[in-house]
Amino acid sequence: MRGKPEYGKEGQRLAVLLSDGIDGFCGGSIVNEKWVVTAAHCIKPGVKITVVAGEHNTEEIEPTEQKRNVIRAIPYHSYNASVNKYSHDIALLELDEPLMLNSYVTPICIADREYTNIFLKFGYGYVSGWGRVFNRGRSASILQYLKVPLVDRATCLRSTKFTIYNHMFCAGFHEGGKDSCQGDSGGPHVTEVEGTSFLTGIISWGEECAVKGKYGIYTKVSRYVNWIKEKTKFT
């Protein structure tokens, strides 16, 4: 992510790192003690996923870190990577042991469908991750965050030859320079509402990153909140 180092504990407590045991490759958000939500395209056949919560600097072993193995991955039922890798790009990960919730490891708030949609239309969201700090560059070792403006649908559609479905939205800067990037996928797009962070999007894809005239594409969480709550028994 081409942004700023993470702001205090807020991003650290909400975002998690997905690792193959050696390297981080995606992000995610804590739904509750046993479940994480991420992008479906982050799930690779044969790759065992480790979730690292309470992470800040990937080059240090920190006392706030909690590592859990993923025992089950559930992509959204309409997701089909062989048809479109990024359509319905959302998945749930079940952890082998519950996370110990504390000030560094906290579930993200998920509102109902109507309110999640309203919050997204506030116009600005925060994204965070450990992905590349510029296109084809190195990954960030310290969690980065970025405030991104929502981009209207007409502008979004004009910016790309690829299909932007109704369950996706665009966010970012026309002038480029700041964006989510490779390795940030699956991480949260959150909207702050009176000091509380609500999940409004999942970082999904883009054409390169931080390029002028291109935007980050996100999965619209409002479309999936009922599914998330049903699968995770989240009440």
Q: Where are the domains of the chain?
A: 12-107+224-232, 108-222
pLDDT in the model for residue 129: 79
pTM assigned to the model:
0.90
Q: What is the mean predicted confidence (pLDDT) over 174-189?
A: 75
Question: Is the separation of the CB atoms in 99 and 66 below 8 Å?
Answer: yes
Structural contact between residues 89 and 26, judged by C-beta atoms closer than 8 angstroms: no
Q: What does the pLDDT read at residue 35? A: 97
Torsion sign across C-alpha atoms 224, 19, 102, 94? positive
Determine the average pLDDT of the residues in 41-62: 86
Active site residues: 41, 89, 185
Check for a shared fold between 12-107+224-232 and 108-222: yes
For domain 108-222, which architecture applies? Beta Barrel (2.40)
Average pLDDT estimate for 17-43 = 91
Structure confidence at residue 9 (pLDDT)? 44
**CB-based burial label for 105 (10 Å; 0-12, 13-18, 19+):** buried
Q: How confident is the model at residue 8 (pLDDT cuts 50, 70, 90)?
A: very low
pLDDT at 7: 47
DSSP 8-state assignment for residue 230: H
Q: Which fold has domain 12-107+224-232?
A: Thrombin, subunit H (2.40.10)
pLDDT tens, residue by residue, 90-146 = 999 999 999 999 988 999 999 999 999 999 999 999 998 777 655 555 567 778 888
The CA distance from 153 to 95, in Å, is 36
In this model, does residue 193 exceed pLDDT 60?
yes
